[in-house]
Structure 1
Amino acid sequence: MVRFSELLPEFWREFRFWRNVSNELNGSSPPGNFIGSMNYPYINVGALINDGSIDASILDNPEEWFRRGFTQWDIVKLRSRIILSRTKTSVKSFSNSIIDRIQELSIGRNPVNVEVRLRKLVLRALADDYHAPLGNIGELRDLRITSNVSAEGIIERLVNDYDVDARTAVIELYRGSIPISRIQRIFAVGLLGDRRFRRLVPTRWSITAVDSIIGEYLRDRVVDYNEVGQVEVHEMEYMGNRYFVILIPGPWRYELIELKMPGSVWNRDSHSPRVYVDYEGVRGMKGYAESTGGAFYAIRLGVLEYLNRIGRQASVIAVREVTPEYRVPVGIWQAREAVRNGMGINTKRFSDINEAINYVNSSLSTGDLWLVHSHLIREFRSDLTRFLLNDRENHTY
């Protein structure tokens, strides 16, 4: 989490808009929510509210932000028009009328009109590498919905199905073309899964959980495909983040290497890049990607969507270089959308892995730093050495 004092003046200057807001507000929700993780299992649960001065439908819509090519500062300006109107409760508490209304508006496909009464309004930045930034927080006294909430039939069916497990529900919504950000929102307010296990889920956890579930579903399909025919490098860039995805003929294996350059948002004061790596083998990963966190699952999802589109599997190295141009954290959605929309667009093909390595090295500002941290390259070279030794033993010269 980042505090206001750690962010650039351009960031917190935008949030002065709300300083004179009264304790009563008639507005609309995008719809959107935010579930905190502090003091779990007693957490803050809130609805995202706007005063109606801007089209609310774009205030919590990462897929649309990417389609429109929004910059970091576009996101900051948008999110400065939101108040997080929240209340504190237990993750298992569903006998609360305010929580009921936050859940109700969260399934909507269009903005929902609301009236809120606040105890107080405070300026406090919420910004990290998981969710889009927020900086205006109102402590809720009451919240009322004053318009109809409309949702797709598949959402209403799964919200009211108390026997289907959460994983199955997430996959059904994904297959039903519900945007991933909306699935994450519905998941967060505990509206999916078996009645016995429904819980409020902190937003940062729900984002990663949904990316992980969809990724595992796609991976189970990918492992049955034939391998890609040659080495490919897919390149994309968004908001000062550069991505190189290397596809190597072989069984599904995946690693993410993050290179956070000096001067970038997560490495402001150091004089050298920080390197973070997570890896999963053919059988997947046990536990959580501790080093790269949500980025591991968000980028994996985009790569797997592409492999499913072309009906192939591959061994995958994803390199994310975070440059000094990335000055404000806007959420992990930017990595997900950049990769899932960029795979197959700017692609180069190579006759062998060494040519691909040389290309990536020459393209990255950090050069070959990623290479010494790559588990998959070490495995590939070890496999090649074993193959050559066996080949020599099996032939007489």
Structure 2
Amino acid sequence: MVKAKKTKFVKVVKRRLPWLEHLIEREDVARDLNLEDTLATRVPRGSLCVYCKASKMLCGKPSCPILVKLRCYIKVEPSLRGLSVEGSSPPAVFVGRRGYPYVNVGPLVPPMRGDTSLYDSPERWLEANVSLEDVVDMRMKLVRGKVKARVDEADEPRGVLQTLQEMVLSSRPVDAEMQLKRRPLASLILDDDVQPIGPSAPMEELRVEAVSTYRLLEKVYGDVDLKAEEAILELYRRGTPVTYIQRALSVGMMGLKGRRKLVPTRWSITAVDSIVSRRLIDEVVKRSEEVAEFRVYSLTVMGNEFIVLMIPGKWSYESIEAWYPGTAWNPDQESLAFCGDWEGYWGRSSYASMGGCYYAARLAVAEALAREHRQAQVLVLREARPGYIMPVGVWIVREAVREALRRKPEVFDTAQEALEHAFKRLMIRPEEWFKVSWTLDSLVKQEKITKYLERKA
């Protein structure tokens, strides 16, 4: 039995988050993304890859993440030997976060034509039964052209930035051609915990063919009197996938005239998840009746086990992840690593320590409760097992929890019965979860289930 890990890995980040200051005016929403506190993450202190060379599997994973990335890159490399890349962009774009207020921005274009929309549609991946290696394969095919731009240039875009915004307006893949300053190269970093990123190169010119415009997004884009937060919510209410919204936000297509800015892809994803979920919680969930029973939802996907526990009571939310030794965010070879955060009825006053996964799962939970017009205390548990050999993005949390909540739950009359069922699906002992969970600790006090813990110990 692996033992729980107490050591923390801490990375200090800037106290200000300039990417989103122009975007959110409501104080309660802004608090939800406040980085006043340090952001706790787990990072490896040294890579074993250079010593292992995929022969000894020193990381403890069942297959080598570096070789998976390399296999996928080898497939596309023959198409990338010139200074021109032609293909159908999903459409997809990427905005970097280093060098603020000047950042790298550009399109993602695979060297092939046709329907590539799946390449940047995480909402469809689980339904399409996409494997982890399929995700890596799609990511490695997307070649990233890069130009430097000042973030406020999005307000009056010209040249490449204007073309990028035209691409994002499209409702289907866009035929594009990039002229590059050098041959695109992939960064095959000798660290098995780095997310898959395709080849990239500085870009000289970008040309696209006529696009088929997504009318609702075009309307929001043209409304310079509509605040960015309200634009996000309007698009969501009208059925726009969150990936589309995140993409448009990142290239500065929303907001008041004079306040539109580029937002790094990482933060555009988190901002949309946070803003939409907070509004659903405040306007629908909290105004609804409480669930009448204990529910357990579950899903196994890509080496992860997800459990969603709904408990009768006023709205609260907690998300906890447990990483097995040698998995993507836990380099330790002996101990489990836990991370998590929670909020009560009135929400958060700071950025969640576990990062974007917290907001991704919260969106999925808020959507499900809003559909049903119910509220509950909600606990999301995730076990990242050895089969999850590399991180692939917060989308997996959002879409896995969404899929779990679309399925019929197991329903119970008591907390003890619900927990017994939930822990049968989890490999980590119940007492380890109780040590780190605010929600489970509250249940112990409310439901008097101490005897259950003693029996399981």
Instruction: Give the TM-score of the pair, scaled to structure 1.
Output: 0.90
- The letter for the 2-side match of 1:56 is T
TM-aligned CA deviation for residue 31 of structure 1 = 0.4
The reply to whether residue 271 of structure 1 matches residue 330 of structure 2 is no
Distance 1:127 1:87 in 2: 26
Alignment of 1:302-321 (within 5 A): 302-321=364-383
Match of residue 149, structure 2, among 89, 92, 96: 89
Match of residue 379, structure 1, among 442, 447, 451: 442
The alignment covers a number of residue pairs equal to: 382
SS at 2:350 equivalent: coil
Does the 8 A contact of 1:133 with 1:331 survive in 2? no
How far does the alpha carbon of each residue in 1:36-59 deviate from its partner, in whole angstroms, 9 at most, with x for none? 112222211010012225632222
- The letter for the 2-side match of 1:185 is R
Alignment of 1:139-154 (within 5 A): 139-145=202-208, 147-154=209-216
Does the 8 A contact of 1:126 with 1:133 survive in 2? no
- The letter for the 2-side match of 1:278 is D
How far does the alpha carbon of each residue in 1:136-173 deviate from its partner, in whole angstroms, 9 at most, with x for none? 0021011111x212222211110111111111111111
Match of 2:73 in 1: 15
Does the 8 A contact of 1:258 with 1:320 survive in 2? yes
Alignment of 1:1-397 (within 5 A): 7-16=65-74, 17-18=76-77, 20-52=80-112, 55-94=115-154, 95-120=157-182, 121-125=184-188, 133-145=196-208, 147-220=209-282, 221-290=284-353, 292-368=354-430, 369-383=432-446
More divergent stretch after superposition (15-24 vs 222-231): 15-24
Does the 8 A contact of 2:86 with 2:109 survive in 1? no
Distance 1:103 1:350 in 2: 50
SS at 2:107 equivalent: strand
More divergent stretch after superposition (5-14 vs 312-321): 5-14
How far does the alpha carbon of each residue in 1:239-278 deviate from its partner, in whole angstroms, 9 at most, with x for none? 1111111101000000001101112222244311100010
Distance 2:169 2:419 in 1: 45
Does the 8 A contact of 2:88 with 2:113 survive in 1? no
Residues 326 and 372 of structure 1: is their aligned pair in 2 closer, same or farther, counting only changes over 3 Å? same
More divergent stretch after superposition (151-160 vs 375-384): 375-384
Match of 1:395 in 2: none
- The letter for the 2-side match of 1:39 is G
Residues 106 and 125 of structure 1: is their aligned pair in 2 closer, same or farther, counting only changes over 3 Å? farther
- The letter for the 1-side match of 2:109 is I
How far does the alpha carbon of each residue in 1:327-380 deviate from its partner, in whole angstroms, 9 at most, with x for none? 122211111111112214152112211222232233211121211111122234
How far does the alpha carbon of each residue in 1:46-75 deviate from its partner, in whole angstroms, 9 at most, with x for none? 100122256322221111222201000111
Does the 8 A contact of 1:235 with 1:346 survive in 2? no
Distance 1:287 1:162 in 2: 30
SS at 2:126 equivalent: helix
- The letter for the 1-side match of 2:338 is V
Does the 8 A contact of 2:298 with 2:404 survive in 1? yes
- The letter for the 2-side match of 1:324 is P
Does the 8 A contact of 2:316 with 2:378 survive in 1? yes
Residues 152 and 54 of structure 1: is their aligned pair in 2 closer, same or farther, counting only changes over 3 Å? closer
How far does the alpha carbon of each residue in 1:270-321 deviate from its partner, in whole angstroms, 9 at most, with x for none? 311100010111000012111x211111111111111112211000111011
Does the 8 A contact of 1:299 with 1:335 survive in 2? yes
Residues 211 and 127 of structure 1: is their aligned pair in 2 closer, same or farther, counting only changes over 3 Å? farther
Distance 1:339 1:102 in 2: 31
SS at 2:335 equivalent: coil
- The letter for the 2-side match of 1:234 is Y
Residues 317 and 45 of structure 1: is their aligned pair in 2 closer, same or farther, counting only changes over 3 Å? same
> What do you get for the CA RMSD once the two structures are aligned?
2.4
TM-aligned CA deviation for residue 198 of structure 1 = 1.2
Residues 127 and 40 of structure 1: is their aligned pair in 2 closer, same or farther, counting only changes over 3 Å? farther
More divergent stretch after superposition (308-317 vs 1-10): 1-10
- The letter for the 1-side match of 2:285 is V
Match of 1:392 in 2: none
Residues 186 and 127 of structure 1: is their aligned pair in 2 closer, same or farther, counting only changes over 3 Å? farther
Identity over aligned pairs, percent:
35
More divergent stretch after superposition (186-195 vs 372-381): 372-381
SS at 1:331 equivalent: coil
Residues 325 and 175 of structure 1: is their aligned pair in 2 closer, same or farther, counting only changes over 3 Å? same
Does the 8 A contact of 1:125 with 1:135 survive in 2? no
Instruction: Give the TM-score of the pair, scaled to structure 2.
Output: 0.79
Does the 8 A contact of 1:236 with 1:346 survive in 2? no
Match of 2:60 in 1: none
- The letter for the 1-side match of 2:335 is S
Does the 8 A contact of 2:66 with 2:188 survive in 1? no
Unaligned runs of 5+ residues in structure 1 are 386-397
- The letter for the 1-side match of 2:177 is E
